[in-house]
Amino acid sequence: MLIFIKKIAAILIIALWGYQHRSAPVQPRQQIISAGIYEFRLPDGLSHSRARGSDGQAGCLYNDSLVIYYGCGPYVSDLPETPSEFFASNEWYGNALNHIISKGLFSGGPRPDIQLLDYYPVYNDCKRPQYIVVCRYNETVFEVPVQLPEHMRDYIFRADTMHRQYRKLVFPKEGTEGRCGIWIDPQDSLLSETYGPLSFIAPDGRTSQRKVLLQLMGSVRIKSVYL
């Protein structure tokens, strides 16, 4: 009798285990999209289409209410610069050069070595964002005003570094029109120069587009074979 009860108990345990595993919903895996040296997860609710002739380097993500274009390589669609990118590209140099010439500190010859020490914003009623750059020429430290490009005043920028990538999120300020997007570039300069960045561009800055862009930014990785 005891053996019979043990057999019944074993059968019930096996049956219960099987029921639990049959009834548990199977979670579908998110599709992994490959683009050049990058890969990312396709967000739920979106379809994916590759651009013809792009060799997997470009395409679009879409549903009935939004579309986001992506591409990677040296010639992908660019996004507005952040202030830090603007100053890193030496756009301030002309203002500083004019200053040392006007003050009689430089009268000609080879291109003078002017160092950028710092920069900070000035909040006033000017139509364009204005910064003060702090520079050094020889032993002289001086400040000069620099205005950022007109289009930069209409955007909000978020930038960081994660997973060996420089990541930038750009979207228009409330009440302004403009595209939004993300820009991802390897921190490894050789990878960046060889393969280029990855960008996702949405035609407008709706909240729904921004949410999807944030999901994409969090899922992008450089393929392990390149690391």
Which whole number is the average pLDDT over 163-167?
A: 94
Q: Residue 94: its pLDDT value, please?
A: 94
Q: Residue 107: its pLDDT value, please?
A: 84
Q: Residue 20: its pLDDT value, please?
A: 47
- Of 112, 124, 202, 214, which Cα lies nearest the Cα of 162? 214
pLDDT over 60 at 48, yes or no? yes
Tell me what the pLDDT averaged over the chain comes to: 84
Q: Residue 28: its pLDDT value, please?
A: 56
Q: What is the C-alpha separation between 37 and 221, in angstroms, rounded?
A: 9
Residue pLDDT, tens place only, 51-76: 876 666 899 999 999 999 999 988 77
Percent of the chain with pLDDT over 70: 82
Q: What is the C-alpha separation between 61 and 134, in angstroms, rounded?
A: 44
pLDDT over 70 at 15, yes or no? no
- Amino acid occupying residue 162: M
pLDDT over 90 at 148, yes or no? no
Are 208 and 77 a contacting pair, CB within 8 Å?
no
Enter the tokens of residue 202.
């949405």
- Of 53, 64, 47, 43, which Cα lies nearest the Cα of 212? 43
Q: Which numeric CATH code is attached to 32-79+159-226?
A: 2.60.120
Q: Residue 79: its pLDDT value, please?
A: 81
Quick check: pTM over 0.85?
no
Residue pLDDT, tens place only, 169-209: 999 888 888 889 999 999 999 999 999 999 999 988 888 88
Which whole number is the average pLDDT over 125-137?
A: 80
Question: Does residue 16 sit in helix, strand or coil?
Answer: helix
Q: Residue 119: its pLDDT value, please?
A: 93
Give residue limits of the domains in the chain. 32-79+159-226, 83-148
